[in-house]
Amino acid sequence: MKSIRTWLTSVFALIAFTLTSTTVSAENMKTLGSMDVHYMAIGATFLTPQVAKAYGIERSKYNALINISVMDNTKASKPAKAVAISGTAQNLTGQYKRLDFEEVREGQAIYYLAQLNFRDKEKVKFELTITDGSETHELMFNQTFYVD
């Protein structure tokens, strides 16, 4: 179990590094008040079967993993910030799905993960509400999913 956690931490650290890298001009990050919100939606087949099983993630070519991390931009080191996240996903036919985010803590890192089923070439509009107790912000983004 420890090796799976180590591997997952490494994967999310790599993802976080990629999102914050200055060489990535189209990074998925938005500043919302005191929060730097990093977000991504990927096919769940990106995870190994062992990691998916350990965290209860359905590993399917029709399943996406939504990963949100929030950093406190009022502090120089921009530490991870615990928040509450709720939201929905809507496809082009108007079908809504409520997203159930689960908090994952790995050392100093905090991630919020949700799953979503999709069809090939499906465009999804995400609408999230993020609150830290004193601030509430909306985050909206679109993602097109493809079957591997």
Segments in 1-148 forming alpha helices (H): 2-20, 49-54
- The structure tokens listed for 88 are 């929905």
| C-alpha neighbours within 13 Å on the C-beta side of residue 144 | 3
Alpha-carbon span 148 to 120, nearest angstrom? 9
Higher pLDDT, 130 or 6: 130
Domains contained in the chain, number: 1
**Model confidence over 75-112: pLDDT tens digits?**
999 999 999 999 999 999 999 999 999 999 999 999 99
Alpha-carbon span 94 to 44, nearest angstrom? 23
pLDDT score recorded for residue 12: 53
Mean pLDDT calculated for residue range 58-67: 94
pLDDT score recorded for residue 21: 35
**Model confidence over 111-134: pLDDT tens digits?**
999 999 999 999 999 999 999 989
Supply the pTM of this predicted model: 0.80
CATH number for the domain including 57?
2.60.40.3340
Q: What values do phi and psi take at 36, rounded to 5? A: -100, 110
Q: Which residues on adjacent β-strands are paired with residue 44?
A: none
With cut-offs at 50, 70 and 90, classify the pLDDT of residue 22. very low
Mean pLDDT calculated for residue range 25-44: 88
pLDDT score recorded for residue 19: 41
Alpha-carbon span 129 to 85, nearest angstrom? 6
Q: Is 89:126 a contact under the CB 8 Å cutoff?
A: yes
Percentage of the chain exceeding pLDDT 90: 74
With cut-offs at 50, 70 and 90, classify the pLDDT of residue 25. very low
Instruction: Note down the domain range covering 101.
Output: 2-145
Cβ neighbours of 3 (radius 10 Å):
10
